[in-house]
Amino acid sequence: MSSKARGFTLIEMVVAIVVIGVGLAGVMAAFTATTRNSADPAVRKQLLVVADQFMEEIQLKPFRESEPNTAPSGCARDTYNEVSDYNGYATTGKVCDIEGNTISELPGYSVSISVQSGTLGGVAGSLRIQVTASRGAESLQLVGWRTDYAGGTP
């Protein structure tokens, strides 16, 4: 009977461990990079939602209102009664609901709004609405237009 040993030698085991270790290091590096950047799409999506909500709120207001509005307190917008009232609205490091309450789930987000007269497709007297939402270095800008489609609004 021959007693030939079967199995791995110590050198083969060390080589196998080194190869597996290098492979795992590469996989972990790729996993770390993916995990680190995975929050960016979530922030971008949240910026889009914030900007879109403000844009919708503004575009639902009357083009022009005859009643003067009273100045809001803090970052409230509940006294805004026409599209142009939003011009110059800005928050830094927070987003507020229409009554001026800070939305605690959105810390570090900022919003700025610009409403300017312009011409849209030959329609003079249109309003160009620009909403910019940002968080840190990430920023998203939406541009919308509003015309006096009702005509004759005071």
Residue 104 belongs to domain spanning: 41-146
The pLDDT value recorded for residue 3 is 64
The pLDDT value recorded for residue 148 is 84
The pLDDT value recorded for residue 35 is 72
The pLDDT value recorded for residue 38 is 62
Instruction: Encode 1-10: b = buried (16+ Cβ within 10 Å), e = exposed.
Output: eeeeeeeeee
* Largest interatomic CA distance in the chain: 110
Q: Does residue 8 form part of some domain?
A: no
The pLDDT value recorded for residue 153 is 47
Q: Does residue 2 form part of some domain?
A: no
The pLDDT value recorded for residue 32 is 82
Residues of the chain with pLDDT under 50: 153-154
- Which burial class, exposed, middle or buried, applies to 71 when counting CB atoms under 10 A from its CB (0-12, 13-18, 19+)? exposed
How many domains does one find in the chain? 1
